[in-house]
Structures are given as C-alpha cells and as structure tokens.
Structure 1
Amino acid sequence: MLPALSEKELDRLEDLLITYGNDYSVLNLAELNGFFTALASSPVTVTPEQWLPVVAGGKVPKFKKPAHEEAYTALMLRYANQVAEHLGDDIDRFEPLFEESEGEEGTVIVMEEWCFGYMRGTQVAGWEPLPAEQDQWLKAISLHGLEDNFELLDQMSEEDIQACVPQVIEAARGLFRYFNKLN
C-alpha cells in the first residue's frame, strides 16, 4: 500500500499538471480526482500506459528535467491508487474532490471540473451503455461534465445547480458499487 499524498505533494502534482498541461489535458486536482474515480469504478481496467497520455492531453509531455518526469509519474500513480483505495475502503463516506468558490450566498460547490474528469475517465475506459438506473447516475454526472450540456446548465439557477451536489455524490458511489458488485 502506497502512502497517501501529503498536502505538499498534492500541491506539487497540481503545479506539474499546470506546468505541463495544454488545452486538452487535466489541469487541476478536482478534474484528476474525477478521472481517477471513474477509472477506479470502471468495469474495464485501464493501465497507466493508457491513461497517462490522456491526463496529459494526448501524449506524455516533454519534461524540462528528468526529475519532473519522475515526480509527475510517481505522484500520478500514487494519487490514482489513493483515490481507488479511498473508494474501496468506505464507499459510503466517499466525497468527490469538488472545488469551492465564494458566491453572493457564501461558499458554492463547483462540480464542473470533477465531473469533466469523471466523464473523461469513462471515455478512456470505453464504458458500454448502462442499464436504466445506472445510466441515470451517469447522467447526473454528465450534466455537469459534458460541453453538450452547457446550454442546459446556463438555464439553471445556482440553487438548482447546488441541489445537484448530493445527486452527483450518490451517482459516483452508486456507479462504484454497481461495477464492483457491492450492495
């Protein structure tokens, strides 16, 4: 069992994502958390050789220093493992790593990045169409994680969007349970 990443290591990982990111890559920890949640929940095993280029936006970046490449890969692998362990240890307490922002009404949960990461994970794993109940769970996540839904989201109030937070959390837990045959 690998140790969980410290705050310092998580900051380093996020710095590496930004430094070596591009328009198609994962750029923050919330999106990476969603991505790894989908992979850990997936009925299909996706190897690091398959997902590392996806995180980087298509191909593994050209690193300025060998130490950056080692840190990037090691931190990615440990974080993927950490997310999978977190899901497997206690799915009922699993909480996605959502971002927060300050709105007029106080702190607002921002699900978009996490949901985009999750949907990217389902795509790299090539998820097959799901039964009706599980498809509804995936739709709860994809509402906030696909560009096709931006128009729909624009029509929703902030209150309506915040009301989706528990649905997205339950969807992530439900899909993990479903694919891992947990009841």
Structure 2
Amino acid sequence: MNTSSNDWPSSLDDSELDELDRYLRAHAEDDSLLLDGVHGLLSALAVGPMLVTPEEWLPEVLHHPFADEDEGNRVLALLAKLNDSIEAELDVDAYEPILGEIDTDMGPALSAAGWCEGFSRGIDLRAGLWEKRLAEDPELMELLGPVMALAVDEGILNADAEFEKLSDDEYDECLSQVPAVLGAVSQYWQEHPATEAELDAQVQALAADSEEAAAPPRHRSGHWVH
C-alpha cells in the first residue's frame, strides 16, 4: 500500500515505548498487564463490536495513584497515543503486535503470552457480544484461529480437546498472521454488526457489573471461548 508521510500513523517511538514499559513494570502487581498485554487489550477493543471507553479499560491497566499530576498526564498521554495508533496502523496495514521476550535454552525468544492475555481481557470487556457471536457464527471463530492457537499454546485459554503444543514454525506462522487476523475481525464486525438485541443484552450486563463494582476485583482472562 502506498501512503504519503502525512498519512502514516503517529505511533509511539522507541523512547516512548520504553518510557511506558518502565512505568508499567515499576507499578505492576502479580496479574498486571505489561506493555505487550496493554497492546493486546487495546487491539481487541480496536477491532471489537462495541465501543469501550477509557473509563472502562484504564482500570485494567492502571492500579496505583500517580505520584503527581505531571506523571499522570504523561502516562495517560502515552496510553492515548498507543490506543489511537492501533486503528491507524490497521488502516494502512502497518500493525504489528508488541510482544514480550523470554529466555530459552536457545537464547531470547519472542512470546505472545502477554499480548494474548491482554487480548483476552479486551474481549472480556464485551464478553456477552463476543461469546454469543463466537458460539453462533463459525466464521468468526475461524477468523480468530491463529490468535486462539497462540492463546491456548501459552495457557491463556483452555481448549475443549487435548491440544498439542505448536512447533516453533507453527508458532511463528500464527504470529505472522496476527495483523491479518485483526484486520479480518474488524471487517467482520463492520459487515455483521451487533444486533439491537445483542446490544441491549450487553448494556444490561454492563449495568449489572457496575452494581458489583464495590466487590473485590477479580482476575479476568480466558473466558471468551468455551
């Protein structure tokens, strides 16, 4: 795709990514999302069936008060820029998932575990819409196949049947398909938007969740496929 410099999305540069990564690591709890997980979360929201506001997703990312106003403004600005960049990158076929790194016997290797965890939590924020459609429309399930395979391989999702670990080549192939998967899923929801009944059910579920907001937070992941 040919794009002019003015059309190219304004994504976080390396120094901004490092800055956000350092903040998230410094304030992480046991189940906190790091940079790769936040990118997965926001990616799921970008291609999903219904708007999720920052007021809803920020609690999935930020768990501590800011040290001061300047720090808060800076972190929120970085998160907003990261969020805005995802849809823009998808529009010009420039999207790449932010992945973590793990140590292996063969040296450092990329891992989709954090990204998949975040993607799963993003889907959970509109679980009613996703789960109903995944159960009823095999097309959506098929489109998400490579991401599901990675999530099951990393233990983020539980498979119904016994699942054989992906080979290194299969893992890399699934990773390479993630940008295309997100583009296809976004197009799916544009062509098959949530029905009024589905939206009403989701709104009722959100209202019920808000009534339970005073309860201790629960760790959410792996609930979007059964």
Q: Give the TM-score band, short-chain normalised.
A: 0.7 to 0.9
Equivalent pairs counted in the alignment come to 175
CA offset at residue 148 of structure 1?
Answer: 2.8
Hey, what's the Cα distance between the residues in 2 that align with 1:61 and 1:39? Answer: 23
CA offset at residue 119 of structure 1?
Answer: 1.3
Rate the CA distance shift 1:160–1:4 in 2: closer, same or farther, 3 A: closer
CA offset at residue 108 of structure 1?
Answer: 4.4
Q: Quick check: 2:149–2:174 contact (8 Å CA) kept in 1?
A: no
Alignment of 1:67-78 (within 5 A): 67-78=70-81
Does residue 81 of the first structure (1) align with residue 91 of the second (2)?
A: no
CA offset at residue 52 of structure 1?
Answer: 0.2
Alignment of 1:65-144 (within 5 A): 65-88=68-91, 90-91=92-93, 93-99=94-100, 108-126=109-127, 127-128=129-130, 129-130=133-134, 131-144=137-150
Report what 1:22 is aligned to: 29
Q: Quick check: 1:137–1:168 contact (8 Å CA) kept in 2?
A: no
Hey, what's the Cα distance between the residues in 1 that align with 2:102 and 2:163? Answer: 17
Report what 2:47 is aligned to: 41
Structure 1: segments with no counterpart, 5+ residues? none
- Identity, in percent, stands at 25
Three-state SS of the structure 2 residue aligned to 1:11 is helix
Structure 2: segments with no counterpart, 5+ residues? 1-6, 193-226
Determine which of 13, 28, 31 is the counterpart of 2:20: 13
Report what 1:165 is aligned to: 175
Report what 1:50 is aligned to: 56
Q: Which has the higher helix share?
A: 1
Hey, what's the Cα distance between the residues in 2 that align with 1:96 and 1:9? Answer: 16
Rate the CA distance shift 1:24–1:99 in 2: closer, same or farther, 3 A: closer
Hey, what's the Cα distance between the residues in 2 that align with 1:21 and 1:100? Answer: 17
Q: Name which of structure 1's ranges 34-43 and 15-24 shifts more when overlaid on structure 2.
A: 15-24
CA offset at residue 41 of structure 1?
Answer: 0.2
Q: Quick check: 2:48–2:123 contact (8 Å CA) kept in 1?
A: yes
Hey, what's the Cα distance between the residues in 2 that align with 1:69 and 1:37? Answer: 23
Three-state SS of the structure 1 residue aligned to 2:158 is helix
Hey, what's the Cα distance between the residues in 2 that align with 1:10 and 1:97? Answer: 10
Q: Quick check: 2:38–2:115 contact (8 Å CA) kept in 1?
A: yes
CA offset at residue 3 of structure 1?
Answer: 4.2
Hey, what's the Cα distance between the residues in 2 that align with 1:152 and 1:67? Answer: 50
Q: Quick check: 1:35–1:118 contact (8 Å CA) kept in 2?
A: yes
Q: Quick check: 2:34–2:114 contact (8 Å CA) kept in 1?
A: no
Q: What per-residue deviation string (whole Å, max 9, x for no partner) do you get for residues 14-59 of structure 1?
A: 111111221222112x222211111110111000000000123xxx
